[in-house]
């Protein structure tokens, strides 16, 4: 009996010694809630100790300084039997794709309060049995499509206290078992496609976001109204100011308005007096905006006459949420100079487009009339007359001279002909005398 007692004591001592030897001096290893647990939190450790028992099922390594989770980290530490892993406040900024390789039994993981800027989607593919995932208080800006696609058994997802401003359509696709979703204290203004939220949800936290109650939140508002489970805190409008602190689901649909967008914002036109012009204004607004035209601070009506001979045919409208309004001005004149305003307004507020018109006057032909004193005119006439007389005298003198020259030339020619005739007669007489002598 005594030997058995000492034998039992020896076994107990050896067991305790074995527990101590197989656990790091920085950690506390014990059985807790029926699980072999290693508690290493708040020890300023930069790496997971090598001496932790491979049979450890729960590892609490929170509030240390890991920085980076390297490739096959838990395979190398022989900790593939982990079922729960707590790594909050470990300054983690990078998670390798194969960090969690081998952790097929892991059902709970806490990565909250680290420096992760995105969801490490591919790393979670090594944890197919995960049922609870905590990523709260990380600077995650958005949730991409299929971010958790490998976690079909995930029941609880905590994303509170991040900086999430956008959730893409299909972000939660593949989460067939998700029942609890925590999205409070983020920067969400709306969820563009509420169908992205799993239909299996039993509870969701959405409070303390920047919900903007305008036309972009209508689908989300309808989803909230149809959600069957009572929320612990219903989301409230953060903007616009007129709806601030009102419950999103209680806002009437017509109040969920977006400020009208008007094109063009400004336009400058120059046209000639008497011409016709049309001003075209494009308006996009949800809900539909009421459109009016103004000139010099006065509201214009259809068939408005502002000045004699000028008529405004105002205005022709087409469409509803996408609308165009056209103002016609016929026979424009200088009194139409100024700015015409296309004004669009709905519950969200108003916007306007300014059309500035400048009328250019018609230019009349320029006739220059030069007047001279009568004395100058008389002197001019006399001068012209004198010049004409001189020219006439010169012409007559030239004609007389030419006539005399022609007459002298004719006389010379006659004289030459007479002389030539006389000479020919004398030559003939001499010839006859010579022939007479020869015959004798």
Q: What is the CATH number of the domain that holds 111?
A: 3.80.10.10
Q: Domain end: 223, 257, 291, which one?
A: 257
The answer to whether residue 379 sits within a structural domain is: no
What pLDDT shows up at residue 1? 43
Do residue 248 and residue 291 come from a single domain? Answer: no
Contacting residues for 210 by C-beta, under 8 A, at least 6 apart: 187, 188, 189, 238, 239
Indicate the helix (H) or strand (E) that contains 225: helix 218-226
The answer to whether residue 203 sits within a structural domain is: yes
pLDDT in tens, 59-107: 999 999 999 999 999 999 999 999 999 999 999 999 999 999 999 999 9
| Higher per-residue pLDDT: 15 or 107 | 107
Q: What is the CATH number of the domain that holds 301?
A: 2.60.40.10
Do residue 224 and residue 288 come from a single domain? Answer: no
Residue 19 has pLDDT above 50, yes or no: no
The answer to whether residue 78 sits within a structural domain is: yes
Helix (H, G, I), strand (E, B), or coil: what is residue 85? strand
Q: Name the domain count of the chain.
A: 2
Do residue 241 and residue 98 come from a single domain? Answer: yes
The answer to whether residue 6 sits within a structural domain is: no
pLDDT in tens, 34-53: 999 999 999 999 999 999 99
Do residue 287 and residue 235 come from a single domain? Answer: no
Do residue 204 and residue 122 come from a single domain? Answer: yes
CA angle 294/268/335 to nearest 5° reads 55
Do residue 44 and residue 91 come from a single domain? Answer: yes
Do residue 44 and residue 123 come from a single domain? Answer: yes
Around 312, how many Cα atoms within 13 Å sit in the side-chain half-sphere? 20
Q: Domain end: 332, 360, 388, which one?
A: 360
- Order of strands, sheet of 156-158, starting from the edge strand that comes earlier in the sequence: 28-32, 35-39, 58-60, 84-86, 108-110, 132-134, 156-158, 180-182, 203-205
363: confidence class by pLDDT, cuts 50, 70, 90:
low
The answer to whether residue 89 sits within a structural domain is: yes
Q: Domain end: 257, 274, 300, which one?
A: 257
The answer to whether residue 418 sits within a structural domain is: no
400: confidence class by pLDDT, cuts 50, 70, 90:
confident
Show the domain range for 226: 23-257
Do residue 150 and residue 215 come from a single domain? Answer: yes
pLDDT in tens, 159-187: 999 999 999 999 999 999 999 999 999 99
Share of the chain above pLDDT 90, in %: 55
pLDDT in tens, 99-146: 999 999 999 999 999 999 999 999 999 999 999 999 999 999 999 999
The answer to whether residue 182 sits within a structural domain is: yes
Do residue 311 and residue 249 come from a single domain? Answer: no
Share of the chain above pLDDT 70, in %: 82
pLDDT in tens, 284-309: 999 999 999 898 888 888 766 555 55
Of these ranges, 216-230, 243-257, 286-300, the one predicted with the greatest mean pLDDT is: 243-257
What pLDDT shows up at residue 11? 46
């Amino acid at each position: 009996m005594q030997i058995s007692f000492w034998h039992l004591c020896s076994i107990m001592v050896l067991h305790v010694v074995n527990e101590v030897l197989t656990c790091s001096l920085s950690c506390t290893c014990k059985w807790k809630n029926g699980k072999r647990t290693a508690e290493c939190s708040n020890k300023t450790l930069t790496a997971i100790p090598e001496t932790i028992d491979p049979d450890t099922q729960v590892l609490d390594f929170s509030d240390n300084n890991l920085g980076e989770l390297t490739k096959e980290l838990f395979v190398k530490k022989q900790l593939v039997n982990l079922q729960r892993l707590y790594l909050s406040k470990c300054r983690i900024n990078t998670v390798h794709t194969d960090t969690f390789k081998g952790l097929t039994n892991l059902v709970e993981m806490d990565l909250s309060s680290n420096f992760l800027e995105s969801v490490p989607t591919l790393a979670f593919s090594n944890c197919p049995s995960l049922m609870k995932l905590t990523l709260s208080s990380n600077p995650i800006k958005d949730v991409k499509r299929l971010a958790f696609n490998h976690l079909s058994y995930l029941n609880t997802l905590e994303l509170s206290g991040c900086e999430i401003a956008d959730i893409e359509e299909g972000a939660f696709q593949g989460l067939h078992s998700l029942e609890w979703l925590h999205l409070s204290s983020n920067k969400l203004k709306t969820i563009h496609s509420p169908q992205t939220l799993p239909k299996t949800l039993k509870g969701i936290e959405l409070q303390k976001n920047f919900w903007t109650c305008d036309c972009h939140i209508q689908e989300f508002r309808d989803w909230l109204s149809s959600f069957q489970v009572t929320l612990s805190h219903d989301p409230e409008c953060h903007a616009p100011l007129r709806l601030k602190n009102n419950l999103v689901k209680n806002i009437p649909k017509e109040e969920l308005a977006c400020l009208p967008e008007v094109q063009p914002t400004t336009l400058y036109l120059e046209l000639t007096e008497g011409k016709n012009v049309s001003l075209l204004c494009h308006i996009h607004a949800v809900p539909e905006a009421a459109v009016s035209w103004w000139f010099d601070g006065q509201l214009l009506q259809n068939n408005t006459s502002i000045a004699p001979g000028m008529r405004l045919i105002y205005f022709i409208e087409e469409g509803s949420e996408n609308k165009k309004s056209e103002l016609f001005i016929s026979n424009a004149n200088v009194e139409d100079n100024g700015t015409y305003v296309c004004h669009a307004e709905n519950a969200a507020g108003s916007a306007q487009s300014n059309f500035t018109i400048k009328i250019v006057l018609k230019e009349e032909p320029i006739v220059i009339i030069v007047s001279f004193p009568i004395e100058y005119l008389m002197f001019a006439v006399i001068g012209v007359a004198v010049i004409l007389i001189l020219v006439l005298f010169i012409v007559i003198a030239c004609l007389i001279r030419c006539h005399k020259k022609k007459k002298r030339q004719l006389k010379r020619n006659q004289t030459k002909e007479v002389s030539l005739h006389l000479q020919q007669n004398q030559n003939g007489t001499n010839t006859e005398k010579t022939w007479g002598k020869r015959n004798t």
